[in-house]
Structures are given as C-alpha cells and as structure tokens.
C-alpha cells in the first residue's frame, strides 16, 4: 500500500470551510493507506474530502489495473445508423431549441414534442444522447481512460480527441488508433486546444475526480465552439444510496472522488462557469447498486456470494425496475447532463 500527503480543503462550489462529517472510510481498492473523511458543506450541501490528497500525490490513487484505464469493450468500427440514432439526434436538436413547453407549440408539432419527452425517459435516449452520426465534428473526451467512449464516438462518425493523465491508459488508447494527449485537465488543456475548437466536450465520471471542478468547467467552455455542447455523467450527493449507506456507496470511491455536488449545486456550478443546461437524466447503474450492497458484506462470509451478483444477468434484471422507480423520483445517484456553452461566459471576479 502507498501513502499520500493531505491538505485541508474548502467547498469547491461556494468556498465555505464550515462542514459536518458525513462518513469516514478506507480506499475501496485497498491501495492507499489510512482512512479518509467526507464532509458536507454547511452552506450548499456539496460533499468533499477534507483533508484531501495534495495534487502531486493524485497519481498514486490510480493503480495500473484501475478499471477505467483498461476498459476495452468498444471497437472503433463504423456503426450503421438506425432509428435510435435518428431519435437521439432529434432529441438533441429539440433540447437545443429550448425544449418548448407543451402549451407554446402549434398543434402540428405536438406529437413530436410528446415523442421527444417520452424518448428522453428511455434507456436509449439517456445512455448517450450524442451517440448518433457525428458527420466528422470534433468532440473532446476529458479523462478518456483507455478510450472506450472515444471508440464509440469514432464508430458514429465523430472526430474524437482525448486527454488523460495516466500513461498506461494513454498507451491503451493509442494502441486502438485514437488521438489522445497525456496530461492533467485543466492544467494541460493547451495540449488539446490545437485540435479544437470542439463541437462537443464529454466528461464521463470525471468531474468528481478533479480538485477544482469550477476551473475545469471554465476551461471546457473555452475549448468549445460558440454554443458548443457539454455532456456530463457525474455522481450526485442527494440520492437514496447516499442516505442509506454513505460509507459503502460505490460512487463515493474514496479517496479518488474529491467532491460531489447535489443536483441543485451542480446546476449552480454549471451556470457559474458559463453553461446553460438543456436537459438532465438520471443514470443509476444496476451494477453499481450491487457493488454498493456487496461492500456492506465486505469481510463477512457472504462477501464472495454477494460480490458475484454483479455478473449475474438475473440479479441485474431484478434491480432494474427498482432503479427505474427511484430514478423517476429523482433519487438516482448519477446525473447525466446535456448543457450548452452560454453566449456570454461569466468570469470569477
């Protein structure tokens, strides 16, 4: 096991140092020594590590076998466009138009409006709303890992570029023929700026890993075309899993997740950093729920049996209906956000 140096922190959203303890826990990967404290900001409710590892020690948190750095499920092969791809494109265009209200539309557009609202609530609409033919448009994947999401975009005809701090993950991505620059974001954003500006920028479970999410989002806005798109997958601190079992919640991921906003806090952060939110979806993963449950049995005779459930098709299907109900109640633990760069980007005073 390795050790990391730590420093006190303040809320990355509002700057307040006042907090209350949420939970304490050890590294779930059992690679970093000691216990880590998660606190909730008394002003805005944002969760954060306090104290947190210093930036120079962050690479120690990610071993060579870290899952996201070795994920090679997707192949960068052309995808034949189908009906689902057409619906995703139509939904994004509808969202960009401001999701007009039901009562403001002419009668002839009412069926299309209802279809788009329904589609946004299906797994096909919310899994990856940009998974449609990209027609060569440039898209940046921040924290791209081994390039699985980039491979998916390449197959859909986008021109993806990635930035990733892990040398091992970058090597895996480049071996797949992907364009990836090694570096930290936002500090090394200049290494990908020459490939831009970008029509879209993606952060898939990345923002929570960054010590300064506000700076990262402002940098993202600078890299986008005017009114370019931002797509986020990010855990939120106000779901049912967090209240039920914060210590073993899979997406807490101590000590790699530096901060986790509430839904309201995330919306505020995006507005402060120059984005207009177009649409949001809940994105709770059945496998992550099972991992949360399994962590409660760690060190007990049932640990192995419960852990195997995440690979069981029947277990994943059984959890599915529960997740859909909780997501419908806005109680999921992952938020998917589609946002657009605002015409005027605010700057910190």
Q: What are phi and psi of 338, to 5 degrees?
A: -110, 120
Instruction: Using CA atoms of 284, 83, 140, 126 in order, give the dihedral in degrees to the nearest 10.
Output: -20
Read off the pLDDT of each residue in 48-59 and give the average, rounded to a whole number: 94
Q: What are phi and psi of 123, to 5 degrees?
A: -65, -30
299 — pLDDT class (breaks 50, 70, 90):
confident
pTM, two decimal places? 0.89
What ranges do the domains of the chain cover?
A: 63-341
Answer whether residue 105 shows pLDDT above 60: no
The pLDDT value given to residue 337: 92
Three-state SS sequence of 103-127: HHCCHHHHHHHHHHHHHCCCHHHHC
| Residue 4: burial class (beta carbons within 10 Å; 0-12, 13-18, 19+) | buried
User: Do strands 198-204 and 138-142 pair parallel, antiparallel, or not at all (unpaired)?
Assistant: parallel
Residue 125 has pLDDT above 60, yes or no: no
More confident residue, 260 or 73: 260
Alpha carbon distance 206, 275 (integer Å): 17
10 Å Cβ neighbour count for 159?
Answer: 16
Q: Which range (17-21, 210-214, 309-313) has the least confidence?
A: 309-313
Neighbours of 178 (CB within 10 A): 22
Q: Model confidence at 269, in pLDDT bands (50, 70, 90)?
A: very high
With CA atoms as reference, report the closest residue to 144 among 118, 181, 113. Answer: 181
Average pLDDT, the chain: 87
Please give the radius of gyration of the chain, using alpha carbons only, rounded to the nearest integer. 20
CA 100 from centre of chain:
27
Q: In the prediction, which pLDDT does 111 show?
A: 66
- Check pLDDT > 80 for residue 317: yes
Per-residue exposure over 114-145, b if at least 16 CB sit within 10 Å of its own CB, e if not: eebeebbeeebbbebbbbbbbeebbbbbbbbb
Per-residue pLDDT tens over the stretch 237-255: 998 888 888 889 999 999 9
Superfamily for domain range 63-341:
Vaccinia Virus protein VP39 (3.40.50.150)
Beta strand 334-341 with 198-204: parallel, antiparallel or unpaired?
A: unpaired
Residues with Cβ within 8 Å of residue 216, at least 6 apart in sequence: 142, 185, 186, 203, 207, 210
Question: Phi/psi class of residue 132: alpha, beta or left (left: φ > 0; alpha: ψ in -120 to 50)?
Answer: beta
pLDDT tens for 191-200 read 999 998 999 9
User: Structure tokens of 145?
Assistant: 């890992």
**Which pLDDT band holds residue 76 (cuts at 50, 70, 90)?**
low
Q: 101 burial class (0-12, 13-18, 19+ CB within 10 angstroms)?
A: exposed
Q: How do residues 152-189 score in pLDDT, each as one tens digit?
A: 999 999 999 999 999 999 999 999 999 999 999 999 99
């Amino acid at each position: 096991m390795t050790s990391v140096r730590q420093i006190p922190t303040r809320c990355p959203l509002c700057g307040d140092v006042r907090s209350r303890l949420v939970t304490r826990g050890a590294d779930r990967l059992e690679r970093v020594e000691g216990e880590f404290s998660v606190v909730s900001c008394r002003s805005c409710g944002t969760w954060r590590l306090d104290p947190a590892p210093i930036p120079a020690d962050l690479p120690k948190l990610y071993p060579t076998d870290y899952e996201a750095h070795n994920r090679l499920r997707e192949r960068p092969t052309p995808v034949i466009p189908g009906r689902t791809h057409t619906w995703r494109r139509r939904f994004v265009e509808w969202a960009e138009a401001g999701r007009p209200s039901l009562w403001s539309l002419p009668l002839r557009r009412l069926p299309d409006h209802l279809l788009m609202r329904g589609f946004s609530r299906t797994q096909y609409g919310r899994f990856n709303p940009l998974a449609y033919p990209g027609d060569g448009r440039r898209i940046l994947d921040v924290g791209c890992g081994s390039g699985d999401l980039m491979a998916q975009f390449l197959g859909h005809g986008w021109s993806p570029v990635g930035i990733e701090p892990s040398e091992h993950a970058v090597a895996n991505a480049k071996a797949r023929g992907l364009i990836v620059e090694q570096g930290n974001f936002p500090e090394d954003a200049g290494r990908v700026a020459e490939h831009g500006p970008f029509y879209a920028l993606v952060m898939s479970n990345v923002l929570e890993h960054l010590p300064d999410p506000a700076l990262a989002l402002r940098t993202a806005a600078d890299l986008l075309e005017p009114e370019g798109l931002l797509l986020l997958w990010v855990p939120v601190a106000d779901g049912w899993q967090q209240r039920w079992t914060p210590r073993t919640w899979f997406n807490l991921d101590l000590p790699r997740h530096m901060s986790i906003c509430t839904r309201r806090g995330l919306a505020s952060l995006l507005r402060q950093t120059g984005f207009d939110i177009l649409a949001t979806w809940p994105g709770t993963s059945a496998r992550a729920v099972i991992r949360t449950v399994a962590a409660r049995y760690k060190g007990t005779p049932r640990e192995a049996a419960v852990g195997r459930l995440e690979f069981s098709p029947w277990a994943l299907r059984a959890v599915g209906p529960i997740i859909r109900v909780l997501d419908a109640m806005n109680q999921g633990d992952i938020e998917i956000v589609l946002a657009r760069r605002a015409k005027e980007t605010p700057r910190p005073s």
